[in-house]
Every structure is written in C-alpha cells, then in structure tokens.
Chains A and B, each alone.
Chain A
Amino acid sequence: MALHTLEFELETTSGTASIPAPTHVGVTGSSDLEVILEPAPAGKVAVRIVTPVTGFDELWKRVVKKFTDETALAGARIEINDNNATPAVVLLRLKQALTQATAA
C-alpha cells in the first residue's frame, strides 16, 4: 500500500478552543483512521495526513476546516493516519478526539 502524505496549515483568527493535552483516538483499521491531537499556539492548525488515497487533497482540507470552524479551535497540531475512511468518519473521529482531549 503506497502511502501519500499531505501537509497543510489552516489560519485560525476567531477561534478560542485549545488542546490541553495530547490525545489519541481510533485505529488505522479498514475504512477507519487514527487521530492524534496535540497542543499548539493559537493562530494556526497544522495538519499532517498519511493516507493510501490520492486525489482528495481538497476534500481533506474542507473536512478539517469544517472541524476547526465548528469547534472554534484556535491552535493545534493534528496528525491523521488514514485507511480509506469516508469524510463522515474523519469528522466524527476529530470530534471524538477533541471531546476526549478537553475532558481529560
């Protein structure tokens, strides 16, 4: 399985939420993914995605942007190890990771 790495940053100007401590959810099983959320200074969210899927870079950006907008995330490092998850699953795991990080 050839893997494709995608890295990008999202500027965050109005966000207020932050990550208190590193957290991890999910497993890189078929149609699933693991998400690692780490604290980072406010102003940007840095994203690194490792996935077997190519040709969906724009879609990944849209999904992560929706997550940061909806959760008003101010700063974080997001690492994703994907195994063919659908956008719905990606968004769900991101939200679960944030809930877990802020509950800790």
Chain B
Amino acid sequence: MKFKRKKTVLLINLAVILQIFWGVNQGKSQDKSESDSLKQLVDSLFIISSAGFVKFADLEAPARKQLIEMKEQSVPYLIPKLSNRDARDINTLIELFKGIGDVATTQLVEALQTDDIWQIRTTCRCLGEIKDKRAGPDLIKVLNHSDYQIRNYATTALGNTKDTTAFNSIVEILKDSIEVPRKAAAYALGELNDKRGIPYLISALSDKHFSVRMVAMESLVKIGKGAIPSLIQLMDDWSDNDSTEKSNSYYLAIEALGKIKEPAVLPVLLDLLKSPDWRTKGVAVEALGNYNNPKITVSLAKLKKSETHPFVKDKIEKVLEKMGKS
C-alpha cells in the first residue's frame, strides 16, 4: 500500500516534469506557454496541497514541499488565490508563504491594495508568518480598516516583525472597541519587547475580555524584569483592599511574576502562601512552580500537610510532582 502511494507521488512528479518539459519544448519561443505550464503546475500542486481528504493525505506534504521549493516561481500564481474563502485554501496559503519566506514580501504587500477583505485578511496572515520588517509601513496603513479582523491580523503581523517604529500605531489599537484587535495589540507589544509598552499592558490586565487580559500577561512576561515593579505595584494596590474580592488582574500579576522567574521576587511569592484567599494561594503555588529552588519544595511540602482547599491541594501536588521530576 505504502509502495503504491510512493509510486503515485513519483508518477505525479514525473507527470509534472513532463508537463514542464512538454511546455518548454512546445513553446520555446513563447514565454506565455511557459508561464501557462507553470501556472498549471502550481494550480495542480495547490489542489493536492489543500485537498484535505484523507485519501490524498500522503500526497499533501510532497506537493507543499514542491511549491515551497519553487520559491519566487510559484508566488505569482499563489497570489490570486489569496481571495479564496475556503478555510483549507487559506491555511494552505499561510503555510506555503511561511515556507517561501521574504522573497514573497513585495508581491504580498501589493496584494494588500484591494477592496476584497478576504484577500487583505489572508495576506496579513501570510505576512505575519514571514515576519519581514519591509511590510511594516503597508501593514500600518491597513490598521484603520473598517474590518476588525484585518486590524487584528495586521497588528499581529506588525508585532511579528518586531519593528519598534510601529509602537505608537499598535498602542492605538489597544483602544479598539472590539476585543479581537485589542488582543492582537497586547500580543504585538510583547513581541516588540519595548518597555514603553508596560503601562499599557498593565492596564490591559483589567480588560473586559479575557483574551486581552491573558495575552497582556504573557506579553509582560516577554518584557521580563522591567515589568516587575509595575506588577508588584498592581498587587500592592489590591492587597491594601483585602475586604473586597480581588480582580483577575491581581491573579494575573502573580502568574506573570512567576513566569518571569526573577529570584528577587521569590520572597513576595512565598509570602502569598499565607494568604487566607484560596485563589491567591493556589496561583502563588503555581507561580512558584516555575522556579527551581529547594526552598520552595520545603515550603510547599509543609503547606501540603495543612492545606484543605482542593484547588490549592491540586496545585501543590502538580508543582511537587514537577519539581520531583526535575
């Protein structure tokens, strides 16, 4: 069966080579026929790449590989497919352009000049995978697009370029009325790894949508040590007001501090184990699990004996198990 499939792949390749050969021989004098055969080749490989059917599964990877290896040769024939609405086509295009890389940037940037929102969305997603700074100015131009998914994908792509000149444009997107681009802006600020983003991300920890809050926390972790004072300040603001139920931003700050893994913060986190609030204790245990420190093992083992809350108990067991393994 396997042999049969390999044979099929070989036959397809042979057919494709013959097709090119045939095209070249037939129309040596005509560039048109050459480009026609190339188009035919790209189209037929694309159909197999994006088919998604289980019976063609073995043919998909070789077809994709071939398209990627064709590099700039395949790009002109893939660009018109950017307006396709089929989810498998879109995902295949993103994967192909990711593989083809920055040789496609110029033509992708040109593809942004259209009224077709599907094309702009997919193009932004492809540029997001290529991560080429040269696309930055054109991505900034579409940040004001009325379609929020375009604002979302363009912001993510800008973040992936790690071009800090986009900082102000990205910060503006954090004010978007829709959470999807706001989430992308929080992500992009983390990718830029620019300390100027810290106050914005701290504020985003209180966003009304969880996606923005969670991504802001991860971005603060990416920025690292520089974010610690602001995170501790946020925690202090809540600790001063113990009577009210703490907001999720408080717990996210603990999580971020744990993930930054700065030894100087360890006493702060250990102190949280004394909290009467089960959530504070549980999140602190989880945060401490990021460190590799024997002191923590001792503290947690001690806590395990007295702890009754199932949330905290679960976290302690998980962390001790992890530390035991390491």
Does chain A bind chain B? no
* B interface residues (Cβ-Cβ under 8 A, vs A): none
* A interface residues (Cβ-Cβ under 8 A, vs B): none
